[in-house]
Amino acid sequence: VQAVFRSNLSHLLELMGSGKESLIFMKKRTKRLTAQWATAAQRLAQKLGDIRRDQKQILVHIGFLTEESGDVFSPRVLKGGPLGEMVQWADILAALYILGHSLRVTVSLKELQSNLGVPPGRGSCPLTMPLPFDLIYTDYHGLQQMKQHMGLSFKKYRCRIRVIDTFGTEPAYNHEEYATLHGYRTNWGYWNLNPKQFMTMFPHTPDNSFMGFVSEELNETEKQLIKGGKASNMAVVYGKEASIWKGKEKFLGILSKYMEIHGTVYYESQRPPEVPAFVKNHGLLPQPEFQQLLRKAKLFIGFGFPYEGPAPLEAIANGCVFLQSRFSPPRSSLNHEFFRGKPTSREVFSQHPYAENFIGKPHVWTVDYNNSEEFEAAIKAIMETQVEPYLPYEYTCGGMLERIHAYIQHQDFCAAPSPAPAGAGASGSPFVLAPNATHLEWARNASAVPGAWPPPHSLRAWLAAAGRACTDACLDRGLVCEPSFFPILNSQEAFVQLQVPCDSTEWEMHHLYPALAQPGQECYLQKEPLLFSCAGSSSKYQRLCPCRDFLKGQVALCQGCL
Ligand code: UDP
């Protein structure tokens, strides 16, 4: 059956079920965004022309909302608890539905079991049985539940699973044997999935797939209206929980000299003691009212927590400047409680690294809050700065739809790995040294790799400086690391072509390989495909890094990747 774009979301709202506060929040959001989704669908349909898209049978099992995993979120929806995850799940459901796929949504273990065909009263089915879904979207909680209740079929079908994983899972933490041997301990288990099966909220390491969410887009009229209606001295503080205000008196004092400060902190009957009297606290607002508040404000200010949520993107999309603190030293799972136990070594240099690195000035100012002068100077400068509402394409409905479409169309983790591409030219190598001799390129006459995605002709490979991760080495060159190119690059050939004088070449299991080790000029190749990793660095190694180009505003896709 072909998938047909949909524009009416009322059936999806029924599929989402009811009862829980979290579902009510999600459904309101979906309803509000219907028109934007429909427009985006129309545009994508035009762009794709008449390519064939198969309708997939998809199960969406939202594990963190199940009672069995404690469902700690639903009761907090009205109390300022995290809403980012719900924003993202609502948008994933909408995108899958709009793309025309057949959906089942489950938020309890019982529903999960009945959809998987596990007989009632049985803990799990010991026999492998046919799975009625092509794809399953879930989270770490759901993954655990499936493992417990699918018996042997879990192993057989896990290649169909996609794990929504806010902060990401790096390959070194995903590979059970390697993680255990080398101390990449986590609270989340080792699943030996293809790292691309983990889908993140922001484009962290390209080892995972970037899923994202959407922020509401403004039309020209709305943009003009906003520009006219801005109060240049109005600031909104980022964060719904009172605890983020603790110890922030100094900054609030400075800020209040220049601006009227607003907050959206949840409270029961009285003003939370952490929020000073001169702050106008609106309490937790319904999402549309929060957007209205942002439309009037000039500044959205972060005090260091929460990390990497949707709200700063919404603020910037509504014409605010986002001011946030730089973290020095950077925070990570090694030195910071919040990130401890998370399966990533990523260093977080500010409250919202995406805003800092992908958006930046004039919309985003990242300053050292320990330096009061720098903080005060930033506020003064921001008050003088004119900014336009801005939303990166990848966070629009169109961008998200295009990205999910591409994943569904091209990502296949059940297929046997494609054989190394056949050689070209006299050297028998599928790549050649670029004319300026700095990096490798795909040889013009190398044979195509059928079904490979992204297509290898966008490969550009460098030997990175010692201590540099491939994520950074590629970004330095305006490109992005592409882990699916590692297998074609993981060969002695590549070192030869790059004219690296290897004393010896060995195959070993290591998440930084392929690499050249210093001193000694030893070249190492990767023995375990699951350990290919864009993330990670060591001063001992110069890593061999596969990079590719990307579409402007859509880092997940290369040019010609759709
Ligand atoms: N939000 C809201 N009411 C408010 C403040 C925020 O509905 O008073 C919404 C906001 O629109 C955003 C969501 O809460 O989409 C998540 O915001 P945040 O960035 O704080 O991330 P979280 O920590 O909740 O995941």
Please list every protein residue whose CB sits less than 6 Å from any atom of ligand 1: 82-84, 87, 240, 264, 284-285, 287, 290, 306, 309-311, 314
Residue type, 104: R
When pLDDT is averaged across residues 265-271 and rounded to a whole number, the result is: 89
| Residue nearest atom 10 in ligand 1 by C-alpha distance | 311
Query: Interface pTM (ipTM) of the complex?
Result: 0.96
Examine the pLDDT at 426 and tell me if it is beyond 50.
no
* Residue 354 CB-density burial (10 A; 0-12 exposed, 13-18 middle, 19+ buried): buried
Examine the pLDDT at 427 and tell me if it is beyond 60.
no
| Residue nearest atom 3 in ligand 1 by C-alpha distance | 285
| Residue nearest atom 2 in ligand 1 by C-alpha distance | 287
Atom of ligand 1 at shortest distance to CA of 282?
8
Q: Which residues of 417-454 are buried (b: 16+ CB within 10 A; e: fewer)?
A: eeeebebbeeeebbbbeeeeeebbbbbeebeebeebeb
Query: Which of the listed residues 236, 237, 238, 240 should we mutate to test ligand 1's pocket, taking the one with most ligand atoms within 8 A of CB?
Result: 240
For the record, the structure tokens of 69 come out as 């995993």
pTM metric for this prediction: 0.96
Rounded to the nearest angstrom, the distance between the alpha carbon of 295 and the centre of ligand 1 is 15
| Residue nearest atom 23 in ligand 1 by C-alpha distance | 82
Rounded to the nearest angstrom, the distance between the alpha carbon of 138 and the centre of ligand 1 is 22
| Residues in Cβ contact with 194 at an 8 Å cutoff, skipping those fewer than 6 apart | 159, 413, 530
Inter-residue contact 184 to 177 (CB < 8 Å): no
Rounded to the nearest angstrom, the distance between the alpha carbon of 254 and the centre of ligand 1 is 25
At 34-44, the pLDDT tens digits run: 999 999 999 99
Question: If you ran DSSP here, which 8-state letter would residue 394 be given?
Answer: G
Q: In whole angstroms, give the CA distance from residue 173 to residue 248.
A: 36
Task: State whether residue 276 is helix, strand or coil.
Answer: coil
Structure confidence at residue 81 (pLDDT):
81
- Cis before 126 (ω within 30): no
Atom of ligand 1 at shortest distance to CA of 87?
15
| Residues in Cβ contact with 306 at an 8 Å cutoff, skipping those fewer than 6 apart | 82, 84, 238, 239, 244
Question: At 138, which helix (H) or strand (E)?
Answer: strand 135-138
- Which range has the worst mean pLDDT, 8-12, 228-232, 321-325? 228-232
